Amino acid sequence: MGLLLLTLVTSFVGVVADPVTGVVPFSDCYDNGLPRYCMHIRVEDFRESDHSANISIYFNLRLDNGISGMYSLDIQNSHNNILSDLPVYLQQNSTYPIASNHSITDWLFSNTTRIHAFGAVEFYPYDSWLFNLTIYTPLFPPSRLAAEFDTAPLPGWIAQCLPSTSSCFTISANTVVVSFVVNRADWQSLPVRALPLVLLFVLSVSMIEMPRAVTDKVTIITSVIVFVALFLFNLSGNLPPRTFASTYAESLLFDILLIASVLLVEAIIEARVNLIYELRQTDFFVRGCIRTSIQLLTMSLIVVIILWPHYFAYQGYLNEFNWVNIPIADSLLCFIIPFIGIIVDLLLLWFGRDALRGRYE
């Protein structure tokens, strides 16, 4: 084998390959340079039920050295030394593309196979599915690979190279590694991503209601609780089985149920405290400051005790699934939105004392 490697050492001419990946555009496949390595990977579909994709693999090898025979192409999808499926093993005999010249030999591998991805539905709606194909090429390591990755229309999904890489293809020894992810399209994930933020905003704004309007506040909070409970029931029934936890969306909605319950108790306590100070004929501005202090303390405890543990728990899971991206903006908004109502309340109390006096007294 070592002698074979030595006899096959040649060099390419033409466009310079990417210095990192050794990959050139697929259009360079049919130039006159030999040896020729051409690879085309196409994602034909993505099946959400078992998170698998039908992937077509085209690989063409042409040499100008008079060597011919049967060679194999081994394909496997692995991550952290774990295989998602049994390796695909292809064999192909050489052909002579130029009948009169038997020194030029050609191997053409073409196959379509269904491969299961790596990932976790627990990150829904941010779930991302990794394909890390290792393709063992015959003969010797390619010095330059003409490669192309594309995808058929995938309704609701987008296949793309890993954001941390400049290409889906990387040459390593006598292998070509093809890495890409399949993510949910924004139009599919955005409604579920936005719903918790909208509900947090509604709960936050409900805190602007005056203590005497406790009935209105209780009605708003109760409506949120009923809506979230019904939505969770519908959402849980439409997701694939989870492996180790509820999904990100479910956990956040459970948090909102807990937050709404805490605010329901807080509204009753706030109304009672206001009544006590009202009977003592305490100035309305002092009562407003006391009320806002109760709200600020309650919301701070909610963020620290409920939202923060949820955020850090899933950040820990991301260490294992490092290709999954939970936008930092979504997480920050979960911590900021609960305080909007309190900030507005403080501004109204400070700049609208005269207008508010009648509502307190």
pLDDT single digits (tens) 316-333: 778 888 899 888 888 888
Residues 254 and 247: their CA atoms lie apart, in Å, by: 10
- What is the structure's pLDDT at 13? 32
HSE-up of residue 54 (Cα within 13 Å, Cβ side): 7
In tens, the pLDDT along 86-141 reads 788 888 888 877 777 777 888 888 899 999 999 988 888 899 999 999 998 876 66
- What is the structure's pLDDT at 32? 62
- What is the structure's pLDDT at 256? 93
Which residues touch 198 (CB under 8 Å, ≥6 apart)? none
In tens, the pLDDT along 332-351 reads 888 899 899 888 888 877 77
Pairwise pLDDT comparison (8 vs 277), residue with the higher score: 277
DSSP string computed for 29-75 = GGSS-SSEEEEEEEEEEEETTTTEEEEEEEEEEEEESS---EEEEEE
Residues 351 and 215 in one domain: yes
Residues 290 and 193 in one domain: yes
Residues 244 and 123 in one domain: no
DSSP H helices, 99-212, are 186-206
Evaluate whether residue 3 is within a structural domain: no
Q: Is the pLDDT reported for residue 1 higher than 70?
A: no
Residues 92 and 237 in one domain: no
Evaluate whether residue 176 is within a structural domain: yes
- What is the structure's pLDDT at 258? 93
- What is the structure's pLDDT at 131? 95
Residues 33 and 158 in one domain: yes
Banded pLDDT at 358 (limits 50, 70, 90): low
- What is the structure's pLDDT at 287? 73
Residues 174 and 62 in one domain: yes
Q: Is the pLDDT reported for residue 181 higher than 80?
A: yes
Percent of the chain with pLDDT over 70: 82
Closest CA to 273 of 317, 211, 320: 211
Residues 119 and 139 in one domain: yes
Evaluate whether residue 251 is within a structural domain: yes
Pairwise pLDDT comparison (44 vs 282), residue with the higher score: 44
Banded pLDDT at 9 (limits 50, 70, 90): very low
Per-residue b/e over 212-236, b at no fewer than 16 CB within 10 Å?
eebeebbebbeebbebbeebbeebe
Domain end position, chosen among 184, 216, 238: 184
pTM attached to this predicted model: 0.81
The answer to whether 139 touches 65, Cβ cutoff 8 Å, is: no
Residues 252 and 114: their CA atoms lie apart, in Å, by: 34
Evaluate whether residue 205 is within a structural domain: yes
Residues 192 and 337: their CA atoms lie apart, in Å, by: 17
For the purposes of burial, counting CB atoms within 10 Å of the CB of 307, is it exposed (0-12), middle (13-18) or buried (19 or more)? Answer: buried
HSE-up of residue 107 (Cα within 13 Å, Cβ side): 24
Which residues touch 264 (CB under 8 Å, ≥6 apart)? 218, 221, 222, 225
Closest CA to 95 of 103, 87, 86, 105: 105
Mean pLDDT of 164-182: 86
Evaluate whether residue 246 is within a structural domain: yes
Evaluate whether residue 4 is within a structural domain: no
Residues 113 and 53 in one domain: yes
The answer to whether 97 touches 106, Cβ cutoff 8 Å, is: yes
C-alpha torsion sign, points 190, 51, 322, 254: positive
Domain count, the chain: 2
Closest CA to 74 of 53, 57, 62, 94: 57
Residues 193 and 174 in one domain: no
Evaluate whether residue 2 is within a structural domain: no
Residues 144 and 191 in one domain: no
Domain range for 100 is 24-184
Domain end position, chosen among 121, 152, 184: 184
